Copies of this chain bind each other. A is one copy, B any other.
Amino acid sequence: MLSRRQRDRLAVVLVETRNPLNLGAAARAMSNFGFDRLRVVEPYEVAFREARSAMGARELLEAAEECPSIAAAVSDCRLVVGTSAIGKRQLQHPVRTLAHGAQLIRHHLRFDRVAILFGSEKTGLSNQDLSHCHWLLHIPTRAQHLSMNLAQAVAVTLYEMVRAAQPERSNIRVEVATAGDLERLTQLLLACATESGFVSTGSARSREQKLRRLVHRINLPPADVQMLLGLARQILWSLRPGS
């Protein structure tokens, strides 16, 4: 897990973003995964202004730092990582897949500030932009359709940053019914099966076994057992002649 302080050391740097929806959506993704430090380099001004209403990320956008250049945006960082779709362009940098790269970034965040750069929607990061980077992150998209939506790339990258060592969140309290209740349910189901003619005398024993196995195997919580007992009782009551 990344501590609050470690998250604070990561700056998301959006370079020349054009679309306010993308700016807002990127900010929302940052907020979802608990990263606050947004820096924008030469955003299209209208985009930056309009984005400030993004759902759930207003504060983050208001605190965003506007920087005149990439050099200014990354000057306090000891690791600068670029993101790239890696098309036909010849890259001069080491490239790491997101899973591996995020691991290295997490390591750095224990001591140093790190910047991750995302380029504009249309052209991504230029060679000039990339020259500020130590290495490049690559999200494993397929060769026929490499280029991701900007905010989705931010979301996927930050998800990977917090992904590791998540405590398994689970609402399962393994509460199961007593064997007594399960046996009652088995007997009631068998009675329904017999009364309805589903089970004949000859097949009763094997059906009973099948039903009991089934009832035991399915790990019913007590509330479900109570509902099924109620249902089976009611059905049986309706099936019995003269009831």
Which residues of A are in contact with B by a Cβ distance under 8 Å? 21, 25, 28-29, 31-34, 55-57, 86, 91, 94-100, 138-142, 145-149, 151-152, 155-156, 159-160, 162-164, 166, 168-172, 189, 192-193, 195-198, 210, 214, 218-220, 224, 227-228, 230-231, 234-235, 237-239
- A152 to B189 CA separation, bound complex (whole angstroms): 43
* Contact between chains at B219 and A33 (CB < 8 Å): no
Among B171, B189, B218, B237, the residue within 8 A (CB) of A220 is B218
- Known contacts A141-B33, A145-B56, A163-B99; decide if A231 and B193 are in contact (CB<8 Å): yes
Residues of B within 8 A of A140 (CB): 159, 162-163, 166, 169
Copies, count: 2
* Contact between chains at A56 and B196 (CB < 8 Å): no
* Contact between chains at A142 and B29 (CB < 8 Å): no
* Contact between chains at A25 and B138 (CB < 8 Å): no
Instruction: Tell me the minimal C-beta distance from A17 to chain B in angstroms.
Output: 16
- A192 to B151 CA separation, bound complex (whole angstroms): 48
Closest partner residue, chain B, to A223 (CB atom): B210
- A138 to B197 CA separation, bound complex (whole angstroms): 45
Residues of B within 8 A of A138 (CB): 169
Residues of B within 8 A of A196 (CB): 231, 234-235, 237-239
* Contact between chains at B32 and A94 (CB < 8 Å): no
Closest partner residue, chain B, to A219 (CB atom): B218
* Contact between chains at A145 and B32 (CB < 8 Å): yes
Among B155, B198, B220, the residue within 8 A (CB) of A230 is B198
- A41 to B239 CA separation, bound complex (whole angstroms): 39
Residues of B within 8 A of A219 (CB): 218
Known contacts A189-B231, A214-B220; 15 further A-B pairs (Cβ under 8 A) = A29-B148, A29-B149, A56-B145, A95-B170, A140-B162, A140-B163, A152-B152, A155-B155, A159-B160, A196-B235, A197-B238, A198-B230, A198-B234, A214-B227, A235-B239
- A57 to B149 CA separation, bound complex (whole angstroms): 12
Instruction: Tell me the minimal C-beta distance from A86 to chain B in angstroms.
Output: 8
Instruction: Tell me the minimal C-beta distance from A119 to chain B in angstroms.
Output: 16
Residues of B within 8 A of A146 (CB): 32
